[in-house]
């Protein structure tokens, strides 16, 4: 009996030793398992970069902004037509239509006048640009209004009508006196329509900020262009977006740099695209296999009992010959948390057999002895 117990004890010790021998640990580092490249949708000069290497970004984060030529409304008015859109050559549009868009000003009537009909007084023959004047129709004297002199050329001058209703072609007497006295008349001219203003531009149109029928204020943005040529693909903004959630691995542009369309401006490590890369000794490869579950611990919080479930994804066929042994890169994937950072030191440990099992083996129920009761046969 004692011999049987000793033999059983020895067998258990050998099994325990064998199980421990099958568990190995090795160190590695957290690295990116994938890289996404960010391409410039348009060419031009980088106006500013808005991220730094190592920064966390989302797909909508702006990486950089390409410098644009901004075209603004020269006056208050209404956009009557738009002929150019994003991706079009502004110069070609201007050559075809006369402008990228047309703006009809707030005031639509003008007067081309001379001092020939001025009341005979020296001061009436000298007019000044910017001077406010008062208007009355020569034949329909009840039609009155107000204007401002916008240009002077010798005895000729122009007046922009700012108040009043007149008919195109009407002869208008122009007065200095708000009482419309004859002695204040400085000239006469005829009503004409103010032509809509052609808004031009050069380069490739990146975006338009208005559409036909919009009312705009002086200084309001109308459209933007870039100097670089464009192949006609659809764009709506000079901003270069990340396009994917992750970490900026490298930024390949800077303020003032020139970029071409489809050139790489940044590289991103996509979110959760991480694994541990470890150099494993040749002798330990026998204890590893593809798909094998392992435990991953990060050196910085290992003492806190934090661990991650890992999977052996790749065992490289290319080794590095060292002085003592040859090592092979082994790649272990795991799901990181918000504290995981690239470059961290990791400890990878293979699992014992009982840790690998999906569920614990339940102990058999103890047998109970059935007894017959009275009346049972």
Q: pLDDT of 98-131, one tens digit each?
A: 999 999 999 999 999 999 999 999 999 999 999 9
- Name which residue leads in pLDDT, 289 or 233: 289
Q: Token pair for residue 195? A: 């032509």
Specify which of 174-178, 255-259, 320-324 reaches the highest per-range mean pLDDT.
Answer: 174-178
Identify whether the C-beta of residue 223 lies closer than 8 Å to the C-beta of residue 207: yes
CATH code, 24-32+272-356? 2.40.30.170
69-105+197-226 maps to CATH 3.30.160.20: no
Considering the chain, what percentage of its residues have pLDDT values greater than 90?
71
CA-to-CA distance for 208 and 71, rounded, in angstroms? 10
Q: pLDDT of 75-95, one tens digit each?
A: 999 999 999 998 888 999 999
Same-fold call for 36-67+234-270 versus 69-105+197-226: yes
* 109-193 CATH pick, 3.10.20.600, 2.40.30.10, 3.40.50.12280, 1.10.520.10: 2.40.30.10
With a CB cutoff of 8 Å and minimum separation 6, the contacts of 173 are: 117, 135, 136, 137, 138, 185, 188
Q: Where are the domains of the chain?
A: 24-32+272-356, 36-67+234-270, 69-105+197-226, 109-193
> Helices (H) and strands (E) in the chain — how many of each?
3, 28
- pLDDT of 234: 57
227-266: b or e for each residue (b if 16 or more CB lie within 10 Å)? ebebeeeebebbbbbbbbbbbbbebebeeeeebebeeebb
- pLDDT of 231: 59
- pLDDT of 203: 86
CA-to-CA distance for 130 and 158, rounded, in angstroms? 10
Q: What's the CATH class of domain 36-67+234-270?
A: mainly beta
- What one-character DSSP code corresponds to residue 168? T
Q: pLDDT of 288-347, one tens digit each?
A: 999 999 999 998 887 788 899 999 999 999 999 998 899 999 999 999 988 899 999 999
- pLDDT of 236: 64
Q: pLDDT of 235-246, one tens digit each?
A: 667 889 999 999
CA-derived radius of gyration, the chain: 42
Q: Write the CA distances from 51 to 168, 248, 262, 272, integer angstroms.
A: 58, 8, 19, 20
């Amino acid at each position: 009996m004692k011999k049987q117990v000793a033999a059983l004890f020895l067998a258990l010790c050998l099994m325990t030793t064998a199980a421990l021998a099958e568990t190995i640990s090795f160190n590695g580092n957290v690295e990116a398992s994938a890289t996404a490249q960010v391409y410039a949708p348009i060419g031009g000069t980088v106006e500013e970069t808005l991220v730094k290497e190592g920064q966390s970004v989302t797909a909508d984060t702006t990486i950089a902004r390409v410098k644009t030529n901004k075209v603004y409304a020269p006056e208050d008015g209404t956009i009557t037509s738009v002929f150019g859109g994003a991706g079009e050559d502004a110069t070609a549009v201007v050559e075809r239509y006369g402008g990228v868009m047309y703006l009809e000003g707030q005031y639509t009537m003008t007067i081309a006048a001379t001092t020939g009909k001025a009341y005979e007084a020296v001061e009436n023959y000298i007019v000044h640009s910017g001077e406010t004047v008062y208007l009355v129709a020569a034949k329909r004297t009840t039609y009155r209004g107000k204007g401002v002199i916008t240009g002077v050329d010798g005895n000729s001058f122009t007046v922009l009508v700012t108040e009043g209703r007149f008919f195109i072609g009407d002869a208008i007497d122009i007065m200095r006196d708000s009482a419309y006295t004859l002695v204040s008349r400085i000239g006469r001219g005829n009503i004409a329509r103010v032509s809509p203003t052609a808004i031009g531009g050069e380069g490739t149109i990146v975006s338009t900020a208005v559409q036909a029928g919009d009312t705009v204020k002086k200084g309001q943005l109308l459209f933007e262009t870039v100097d670089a040529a464009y192949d006609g693909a659809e764009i709506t903004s000079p901003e270069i977006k990340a396009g994917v959630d992750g970490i900026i691995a490298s930024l390949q542009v800077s303020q003032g740099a020139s970029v071409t369309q489809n050139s790489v401006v940044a590289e991103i490590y996509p979110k959760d695209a991480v694994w541990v890369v470890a150099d494993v000794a040749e002798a330990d490869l026998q204890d590893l296999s593809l798909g094998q579950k392992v435990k991953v611990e990060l050196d910085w919080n290992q003492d806190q009992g934090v661990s991650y479930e890992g999977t052996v994804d790749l065992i490289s066929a290319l080794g590095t010959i060292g002085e003592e042994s040859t090592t092979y890169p082994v790649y272990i994937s795991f799901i990181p948390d918000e504290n995981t950072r690239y470059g961290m030191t990791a400890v990878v440990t293979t699992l014992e057999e009982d840790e690998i099992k999906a569920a614990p083996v339940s102990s058999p129920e103890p047998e109970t002895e059935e007894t017959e009761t009275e009346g049972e046969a």
